[in-house]
Structure 1
Amino acid sequence: MGQKLLVSMNNITKIYGHHKALDKVSFDLYEGEVHCLVGENGAGKSTLIKILSGAISPDEGDIIIGSVKAKSLTPKQSIELGISTIYQDAELVDSLTVADNIFLGNEKSKRLPFLVDSRYQEKRVSEVIETLKMKLPVNVLVEDLSASQRQMLQIVKALHSDSKILIMDEPTSSLGIDETKALMDIIENLRRRGIGIIYISHYLEEIFKIGDRVTVLKDGLNMGTYNISDITVDEIVQKMVGRNAALFYKKTPVEIGNVMFEVRNLSKSGVVDNISFFVRKGEIFGFGGLVGSGRSELVSLIFGVEKADSGEIYLNGKRLIVDSPEDAIKKGIALITEDRKKFGMLIGRNIVENTALVHTENFGGILLNHTEERELTYNVVKKLSIAVQDDSQNVEELSGGNQQKMMISRWLLDNFEIYIFDEPTKGVDIGAKEQIYQLMTELAKSGKCIIMISSDMPELISLSDRIGVMRSGKLVEILDNKDISEEELIKHFIGV
């Protein structure tokens, strides 16, 4: 390309158990280049940049940064080599000012010990901001910044530490049109200064505006690196989603009845905007969209985790007032959460306590019935083929697939009308996926309503009767799932 080579990652392989997150992937970056990295969720993008930033180590391959060659990097080495990562969710200290965040851990002191020279810090930060032609106040608390200003702050922080390589992970996912344009201008400025940028985005239009080259990852494989001028959106989409049809689950037909659950004009400022949809008896209604589209936030409102500003929820024609998760459970709504470790499991507790949790808390009365809990757990563990040593085993000792099945099992001990599955097979193997799909189909056959959020497009297409497309907090369209392809679906997600 003519410019100086900044990064060369050669034959990078990363294995988790039996799964190859990356399989001999090579990637490089030149000075003054914007090299875009695209792929579906789970394609290996995050794993690759974590290896480059030193967060994880590869199992095979070499990393060359300038004249330094290594098998792996630590976070400290990565920073010292001039690499900075700007994450989608900014890791900043809200209670400190812009200048204080930038100097955090490396504060400039006055002559007296333990006193920070705020005036010096603000002056130095202002100089960097001015060279980038940004509008960012240096003495304002981070908690008072907009989403775009937080992104700018991360860029200033990186350049203040003299970074030559920037990794930008979905930087516009929470930005509006004007804020996105401002960020594009900043990126162009950085390019002219010789900064190399690795740009990760689901928004393919952005790639064609700012990118020099694009690398497509799929299922841990590099599907090719192309000059932006030599490839089209359609070709990128095809390379992102091309997949063996045998990986699709064949759902058995289910008779669909009348409308059972309905959401009308549900809104929460800055989260979701005027969402309306209905789900019929026996139907699986899928929600799809890019990361940050508002899918999980919508579920939090329905389940009472967050309170909506406006809108109504109906079950069998009767309006439901849901003020808390406990409310939702008592009114017949079950939620299998996306983050099982943070929100779903009682770490350090055994299988029985985790499985019988909802039944005991909401339907079991005041006194615990240990015999009943063990019997219920035994029956549901057997039904779902959950591999456990015995009922005293702690839940964190189970495999990911068995943890997920255990999470689902707790909602089968009682009779719910609505089952919300948020990323039902995240982090589970193919065998466990098949069992979970069969269970969801059985629930639909028994007349339950199923709402499913999924980033796995084969899963979304295989199971959903209809698919609601979320984009920027809005339900932009509802698709009848009649032979829809992955390529068509991802175009709806992106809006092209």
Structure 2
Amino acid sequence: MESLTVLQAIGFNKTYPGVKALDGVDFDLQYGEVQALVGQNGAGKSTFVEIIAGSIRPDSGQIKIDNNVYPYLEPSKSIELGIQTVHQENQLVEELSIADNIYLFNLPSNKIGLVKESNCTQAANELLHELGIDIPAGKKIKQLTFAEKKLISIAKAFSRKARILILDEPTASLDEKGKKILFDIIRRYTQKGLSVIYISHNIHEIFEISDRVTVFKDGKKVSTQPIKEISLNDVVRQMIGRTTTNLYSREKGKFQSAEAGILEVIDYHREGVIEHISFQVKAGEIFGIGGLVGAGRTELIRMIFGLDQKDSGKLIFRGKEITPTNPNDAIKKGIGYLTEDRKDSGLIMMRPIFENISLVKLAKEANRMLNLSIERNETQIISEQLNIKTPSISQLVLNLSGGNQQKVVLAKWLFAGAEILLFDEPTVGIDVGAKSEIYKLIDNLAAQGKIIILISSDNPELIAVCDRIGVMRNGRLITVLEGNDITEENILRYSMGVNEKD
């Protein structure tokens, strides 16, 4: 007789610098059930399932499986216990065949340990047939569509004996046919005793496939309830939680006159990535872009900056086309891009502050002779204006706090004379006090008439800082919220495709 509970997580805690990813989380998974795990970006879902999969160790807590208690799991132990994970990102080897990918770490062999390619392909074809996936196992991964790759990732999880299956955004790249195949697999195998942890931002499918739903918010478990006893609106409200006092507020709607400049983003499109997006931003306005991870926000900004290719799209500023052909062209046209990962793509960590600040301007003015004295004096002035806390501008950027590093990134674009500023997650990894300073700096830039587009996964941040908020979903701009319509609930509803009538 199988125990009703196949997995228990007891008191999970996990802290990263400045972030409490999990805070005393308890969780139980029942035999043969599909339990949905939902929450906003940063709620702690991914950290939780990576601990179960053995990729991350909790700071404290226990995992209980088959009445055995573990302080943590290694990936090999997790697999040995029958836990299989299908990640959101493709983790297949493009140059290998489907069969080789499915059995990459578990190749079928004969009694003396030899592997025969034909046996591997046959086993893979039998597995695919059993799962209802009609794709020849001999094809290479690079020949498949995104949807087919996702199905192969799911098949790979069944190449070993799976008792617990973790699915992270499994339908993100599936078409309706692929989704039907997946749901058929889930229903057939849960009837045989498979237990599933199902993570999805598509709240409608949660109600289609799940038995229970667990809501996470800010690293804590809010509730676990049978799906029949909770409404879609209740789930959304629990994900938002109680309203918290804003750490920052600003007077909104104080735009410059039309003569000061309007940026027109016209018909940005790339097949399968961004779908014909257009909007306008006035000088002095902070235009926010919200949406869930994978909605296409960063991809849009990278196209606007000329980093990524596009099928169509142009920028008009003050009536003149300024569409950049590449990042260097964007810089020359007064566009600045503060990337999501400041350490990898925004700063040279092992160089001093003044060199980082002057870097873009020097690139913009390639023929200019470098005068070190002037460079230091000018960068000193902007460092003081932004209140970069450092004993000297000769200090290595590596030694600054996250908030001051972000100020250096902002300083380099202001020093280069950028009129249009694209912010991608500007306060990630920054403490509360530093966040307020960054907000004030952005507000001051808007007051000076700069064009500001700000991406954030922190919905309260968007509400506090932005005049209008465009919400993206699946590569499309769904709506633009303004005035009293700017609420956390509305942002989340449009992000998840939830209509008021649901």
Deviates more, 1:248-257 or 1:225-234: 248-257
Look up the match of 2:281.
Answer: 279
Residue deviations 1:66-87, cap 9 Å, x none? 2331111222222222222211
Q: Distance in 2 between matches of 1:464 and 1:100?
A: 49
Q: Distance in 1 between matches of 2:121 and 2:234?
A: 47
Look up the match of 1:166.
Answer: 165
Look up the match of 1:307.
Answer: 309
1:417 to 416, 419, 441: 419
Look up the match of 1:371.
Answer: 373
Look up the match of 2:185.
Answer: 186
Q: Distance in 1 between matches of 2:486 and 2:357?
A: 37
Deviates more, 1:330-339 or 1:47-56: 47-56
Contact kept, 8 Å, 1:273 with 1:474, in 2: the verdict is: yes
Deviation (angstroms), 1:163? 2.2
Deviation (angstroms), 1:478? 1.7
Look up the match of 1:176.
Answer: 175
Look up the match of 2:214.
Answer: 215
Deviates more, 1:84-93 or 1:244-253: 244-253
Question: What residue identity is the alignment partner of 1:456?
Answer: D
1:297 to 299, 317, 320: 299
Look up the match of 1:342.
Answer: 344
Instruction: Name the SS of the counterpart of 1:479 in structure 2.
Output: strand
Structure 1: give runs of 5+ residues left out of the alignment.
none
Instruction: Name the SS of the counterpart of 1:149 in structure 2.
Output: helix
Q: Distance in 2 between matches of 1:297 and 1:313?
A: 16
Deviation (angstroms), 1:221? 1.2
Quickly say closer, same or farther: Cα 1:460–1:67, change in 2 above 3 A: same
1:492 to 480, 491, 494: 494
Instruction: Name the SS of the counterpart of 1:246 in structure 2.
Output: coil
Quickly say closer, same or farther: Cα 1:62–1:484, change in 2 above 3 A: same
Question: What residue identity is the alignment partner of 2:103?
Answer: F
Deviates more, 1:193-202 or 1:203-212: 193-202
Contact kept, 8 Å, 2:338 with 2:422, in 1: the verdict is: yes
Tell me if 1:439 matches 2:441.
Answer: yes
Look up the match of 2:410.
Answer: 408
Contact kept, 8 Å, 2:246 with 2:464, in 1: the verdict is: no
Tell me if 1:55 matches 2:52.
Answer: no
Question: What residue identity is the alignment partner of 1:433?
Answer: K
Equivalences for residues 48-87 of structure 1 within 5 A? 48-87=48-87
Q: Distance in 1 between matches of 2:483 and 2:365?
A: 37
Residue deviations 1:82-110, cap 9 Å, x none? 22221111111111111111222444568
Look up the match of 1:200.
Answer: 199
Deviates more, 1:387-396 or 1:305-314: 387-396
Instruction: Name the SS of the counterpart of 2:440 in structure 1.
Output: helix
Q: Distance in 1 between matches of 2:254 and 2:476?
A: 29
Contact kept, 8 Å, 2:478 with 2:494, in 1: the verdict is: no
Quickly say closer, same or farther: Cα 1:184–1:341, change in 2 above 3 A: farther
Q: Distance in 1 between matches of 2:247 and 2:470?
A: 20
Structure 2: give runs of 5+ residues left out of the alignment.
none
Say what the alpha-carbon RMSD is for the aligned residues. Answer: 2.2
Deviates more, 1:153-162 or 1:374-383: 374-383
Look up the match of 2:354.
Answer: 352
TM-score by length of 1: 0.94
Instruction: Name the SS of the counterpart of 2:153 in structure 1.
Output: helix
Quickly say closer, same or farther: Cα 1:394–1:93, change in 2 above 3 A: farther
Quickly say closer, same or farther: Cα 1:75–1:111, change in 2 above 3 A: closer
Question: What residue identity is the alignment partner of 1:460?
Answer: L
Equivalences for residues 97-116 of structure 1 within 5 A? 97-108=97-108
Q: Distance in 2 between matches of 1:80 and 1:383?
A: 57
Instruction: Name the SS of the counterpart of 1:215 in structure 2.
Output: strand
Contact kept, 8 Å, 1:173 with 1:291, in 2: the verdict is: no
Q: Distance in 1 between matches of 2:468 and 2:401?
A: 32
Instruction: Name the SS of the counterpart of 1:130 in structure 2.
Output: helix
Question: What residue identity is the alignment partner of 1:91?
Answer: Q
Residue deviations 1:348-395, cap 9 Å, x none? 333333332212222364543333333344333333333445444443
Quickly say closer, same or farther: Cα 1:453–1:69, change in 2 above 3 A: same
Residue deviations 1:20-42, cap 9 Å, x none? 22111101112211111111111
Deviation (angstroms), 1:343? 2.1
Deviation (angstroms), 1:188? 1.9
Instruction: Name the SS of the counterpart of 1:436 in structure 2.
Output: helix
Deviation (angstroms), 1:293? 1.4
Contact kept, 8 Å, 1:14 with 1:59, in 2: the verdict is: yes
Instruction: Name the SS of the counterpart of 2:245 in structure 1.
Output: helix
Contact kept, 8 Å, 2:171 with 2:179, in 1: the verdict is: yes
Instruction: Name the SS of the counterpart of 1:181 in structure 2.
Output: helix
Look up the match of 2:44.
Answer: 44
Instruction: Name the SS of the counterpart of 1:6 in structure 2.
Output: strand
Q: Distance in 1 between matches of 2:184 and 2:365?
A: 57
Q: Distance in 1 between matches of 2:291 and 2:277?
A: 14
Question: What residue identity is the alignment partner of 1:419?
Answer: L
Q: Distance in 1 between matches of 2:14 and 2:284?
A: 41
Equivalences for residues 378-397 of structure 1 within 5 A? 378-388=380-390, 390-397=392-399
Quickly say closer, same or farther: Cα 1:140–1:363, change in 2 above 3 A: same
Identity of aligned residues (%): 44
Contact kept, 8 Å, 2:468 with 2:486, in 1: the verdict is: no
Instruction: Name the SS of the counterpart of 1:245 in structure 2.
Output: coil
Contact kept, 8 Å, 1:52 with 1:73, in 2: the verdict is: yes
Look up the match of 1:235.
Answer: 234
Deviation (angstroms), 1:48? 0.9
Contact kept, 8 Å, 2:23 with 2:219, in 1: the verdict is: yes
Q: Distance in 2 between matches of 1:107 and 1:320?
A: 55
Quickly say closer, same or farther: Cα 1:105–1:319, change in 2 above 3 A: same
Question: What residue identity is the alignment partner of 2:250?
Answer: K
Q: Distance in 2 between matches of 1:350 and 1:247?
A: 34
Question: What residue identity is the alignment partner of 1:357?
Answer: L
Equivalences for residues 15-54 of structure 1 within 5 A? 15-54=15-54
Look up the match of 1:262.
Answer: 264
